[in-house]
Amino acid sequence: MTAVRQRLGPRRRSISLWVTLALMAAALVLVLPAAASHPEVSLPGSDFEIDTNANLKVDDPGSLDWANVSETRKADQPSGANDDSFGQGTKEDTAVPTVVNGSIPPQKSDLLHFGVYLETTASGARFLNLFWHRVQEPNGTTNMDFEFNKSSTLSANGVTPVRSAGDLLIQYDLAQGGTNPQLFLSRWVTSGPGSQCEASNSTPCWGTRSNLSAAGDAAGSINTSAIPAAQSEGLGDVSPRTFGEAQLDFDALTGGGCVPFGSAYLKSRSSDSFTAAVKDFIAPATLNLSTCGTITIIKHTNPGGLDQGFGFTSNIAGGSELSCSADATPASFTLNDAGTDTETCTNVPIGNYIVTEGADPTGFAFDDVTCVATGSGTGSQDGTVPKQANIAIVAGGDSVTCTYVNNQQLGAIKVTKTSSKTGNALAGATFSVSGPGGFSATLTTGADGTDCVDGLVFGSYTVTETAAPPGFVIDDTSGHPVTVNNNASCSADPYVGEETSFTDTPTADIQVRFKDGGSGETSGTISCDNTTGTTSTADTTGWDDTTTVTGIHAPVIVTCTIDIDP
- Name the CATH superfamily, with its identifier, for domain 410-506: Immunoglobulins (2.60.40.10)
438: DSSP letter: G
pLDDT digits (tens, 9 = 90+) for 251-306: 888 776 677 888 999 999 888 889 999 989 999 999 877 778 899 999 999 999 99
Distance of alpha carbon 287 from alpha carbon 115, whole angstroms? 11
pLDDT digits (tens, 9 = 90+) for 514-526: 888 888 888 888 8
Q: Is 426 in a helix, a strand, or coil?
A: coil
pLDDT digits (tens, 9 = 90+) for 424-457: 999 999 999 999 999 999 999 999 999 999 999 9
Tell me yes or no: is domain 294-408 CATH 2.60.120.10.
no
Answer yes or no: are the C-beta atoms of 222 and 197 closer than 8 Å: no
Distance of alpha carbon 277 from alpha carbon 143, whole angstroms? 11
pTM of the model: 0.61
- 508-514 sheet: strands from edge to edge: 508-514, 545-552, 534-538
Q: What is the pLDDT at residue 257?
A: 65
Distance of alpha carbon 401 from alpha carbon 399, whole angstroms? 7
pLDDT digits (tens, 9 = 90+) for 167-184: 999 999 998 778 889 999
Q: What is the pLDDT at residue 498?
A: 98
Do the strands 126-134 and 472-474 form a parallel or antiparallel pair, or are they unpaired?
Answer: unpaired
Query: In the chain, helix, strand, coil percent, each to 5?
Result: 5, 50, 50
Distance of alpha carbon 169 from alpha carbon 267, whole angstroms? 10
Opening angle at CA 546, ends 544 and 549, nearest 5: 170
Same fold? 294-408, 410-506: yes
Distance of alpha carbon 377 from alpha carbon 369, whole angstroms? 17
218 forms beta bridges with 248
Distance of alpha carbon 65 from alpha carbon 50, whole angstroms? 8
Length of the chain, in residues: 566
Rg of the Cα trace of the chain?
45
Q: Which range (13-22, 195-204, 350-359) has the least confidence? A: 13-22
Answer yes or no: are the C-beta atoms of 99 and 87 closer than 8 Å: yes
Domain borders along the chain are: 2-31, 66-183+210-290, 294-408, 410-506, 508-565
| Of 380, 385, 384, 357, residue with least CA distance to 370 | 380
Answer yes or no: are the C-beta atoms of 355 and 297 closer than 8 Å: yes
Distance of alpha carbon 415 from alpha carbon 73, whole angstroms? 73
